[in-house]
Amino acid sequence: MDFPERLIFDGMNIPPFRPLKENVEKRFTEIRNLECRKDDIILATYNKSGTHWIWEVVCMLIKGNTEYTKEIKEFFFLEAIPDLDVVHNLPSPRPMNTHLPYRWLPKQLTEKGGKIIHVIRNPKDVAVSLYHHLVDFGLSNISFSQFMETMFMIPSPAFSMGSWYDYVKECEQAAENDKHGAILTMFYESMKKNPIDETKRLAKFLNVEASDKLIEDIVEKCSFGNLKNADKTIKDQSILKKIIDLPSVDGQAKPNIYRKGIIGDWKNHFTVALNEQFDKIYAEEMKNSKLPIQFE
Ligand SMILES: Nc1ncnc2c1ncn2[C@@H]1O[C@H](COP(=O)(O)OS(=O)(=O)O)[C@@H](OP(=O)(O)O)[C@H]1O
């Protein structure tokens, strides 16, 4: 296996974004203490759960039109952007995003009236997506099964920003304690199967007036194929080089975010034995969860 050094902080493996490599505690504390506004929106997801997709939908809803945001979502990515002043200077409402767990989100956010959107995806598909992402980033000589056994499946030494289980359980707890309707929990699979209804639910949560036509157009513009194409043709990717050392193909190489965009690709990667092993750990880890999760 060949992978950059790992940094552990607050019990989590920290991805090698430049500000985190420089001083992870400083950046986490800055985010935790971020001065919030009443209309701030934070999309908080575990890696590979559909962040780019839902972020684009959120941006279109708050703008009230279907123009793609020229910046990629990493421009608003709290733990990775080179300078948090960018966020301080953004006009409202600010559609920020992060993979940080709930305990590290800005503490003022919900007090001031801001909103949090959690997106949860079948961890088996998250694992597959993350494996391919890490291979794109230089992880080599490790099979998918080895990746699962050593990095993803076991709860504590999970790879990136803590384990999926801990992340999701923390979201669930936060949503249970949320007395002001400040947190929306979405599922990737529901968005995939029922994008119109889920986009309406999102609009309602954001207090956005959106006609049926606008909702339909947003769903269409944010389909997997259209977003993949927009990512190649419209989006300004320049910030990526400032965030992370990318494999050097003209300095432009980046992980293929829009890989397959389907439910159930895990079936092409899990052996029967791995699946049984996973289900056992999953059942134990999530035994107290009341989340309405029915993953296929
Ligand atoms: N429109 C649409 N429909 C369905 N699926 C979509 C869509 N847009 C992105 N995706 C899929 O989301 C996966 C990437 O997740 P993230 O955006 O959270 O990645 S990241 O952690 O921020 O890098 C990644 O999943 P995989 O294809 O399984 O790897 C993307 O393909």
Atom of ligand 1 nearest to the CA of 132: 29
Name the residue range of residue 199's domain: 9-122+161-250
Which of these is catalytic: 99, 118, 132, 269?
99
For residues 115 and 203, give the distance between their C-alpha atoms in angstroms, rounded to a whole number: 12
Is 97 part of a structural domain of the chain? yes
Q: Confirm if 188 and 74 have CB atoms less than 8 A apart.
A: no
The SS3 call for residue 12 is strand
Percent of the chain whose pLDDT exceeds 90: 74
φ and ψ at residue 154, rounded to 5 degrees: -75, 135
How far from 272 is each of 64, 125, 145, 233, 295, CA to CA, in Å?
Answer: 46, 15, 11, 40, 16
How far from 1 is each of 102, 129, 139, 270, CA to CA, in Å?
Answer: 31, 18, 6, 20
User: What is the whole-number distance in angstroms between the Cα of residue 224 and the centre of ligand 1?
Assistant: 8
User: What is the whole-number distance in angstroms between the Cα of residue 254 and the centre of ligand 1?
Assistant: 14
Residue 118 annotated as catalytic:
no
pLDDT in 10s for each residue of the chain, 296 residues? 445 557 889 989 888 899 999 999 999 999 999 999 999 999 999 999 999 999 999 999 999 999 999 999 999 999 999 999 989 999 999 999 999 999 999 999 999 999 999 999 999 999 999 999 888 877 777 899 998 988 888 766 556 789 999 999 999 999 999 988 999 999 999 999 999 999 999 999 999 999 999 999 999 999 999 999 999 999 988 888 888 876 544 444 567 899 999 999 999 999 999 999 999 999 999 999 998 777 77
Q: Is the CB of 129 under 6 A from ligand 1?
A: yes
Is 222 part of a structural domain of the chain? yes
Q: Confirm if 66 and 60 have CB atoms less than 8 A apart.
A: yes
Amino acid letter, 203: A
Q: Give the ipTM.
A: 0.99
Is 273 part of a structural domain of the chain? no
Is 13 part of a structural domain of the chain? yes
Q: Is the CB of 49 under 6 A from ligand 1?
A: yes
Q: Which residue puts its alpha carbon closest to atom 20 of ligand 1?
A: 48
User: What is the whole-number distance in angstroms between the Cα of residue 54 and the centre of ligand 1?
Assistant: 9
For residues 218 and 65, give the distance between their C-alpha atoms in angstroms, rounded to a whole number: 8
User: What is the whole-number distance in angstroms between the Cα of residue 47 and the centre of ligand 1?
Assistant: 9
For residues 261 and 169, give the distance between their C-alpha atoms in angstroms, rounded to a whole number: 24
Over the stretch 246-261, which tens digit does the pLDDT of each residue have? 654 444 456 789 999 9
Domain count, the chain: 1
Q: Is the CB of 160 under 6 A from ligand 1?
A: no
Comparing CA positions, the residue from 47, 78, 14, 287 lying closest to residue 188 is 47
State the pLDDT at residue 251: 47
User: What is the whole-number distance in angstroms between the Cα of residue 48 and the centre of ligand 1?
Assistant: 6
Amino acid letter, 260: K
Element (H, E) at 115: strand 115-120
Q: Confirm if 235 and 70 have CB atoms less than 8 A apart.
A: yes
Comparing CA positions, the residue from 97, 94, 99 lying closest to residue 112 is 94
Q: How many CA atoms lie within 13 A of 64 on its CB side?
A: 6
Is 3 part of a structural domain of the chain? no
Strands 7-9 and 12-14: antiparallel
Is 48 part of a structural domain of the chain? yes
Q: Is the CB of 228 under 6 A from ligand 1?
A: no
pTM of the model: 0.95
Is 4 part of a structural domain of the chain? no
Atom of ligand 1 nearest to the CA of 99: 21
Which CATH number belongs to the domain containing residue 31 in this structure? 3.40.50.300
Atom of ligand 1 nearest to the CA of 255: 23
Is 267 part of a structural domain of the chain? no
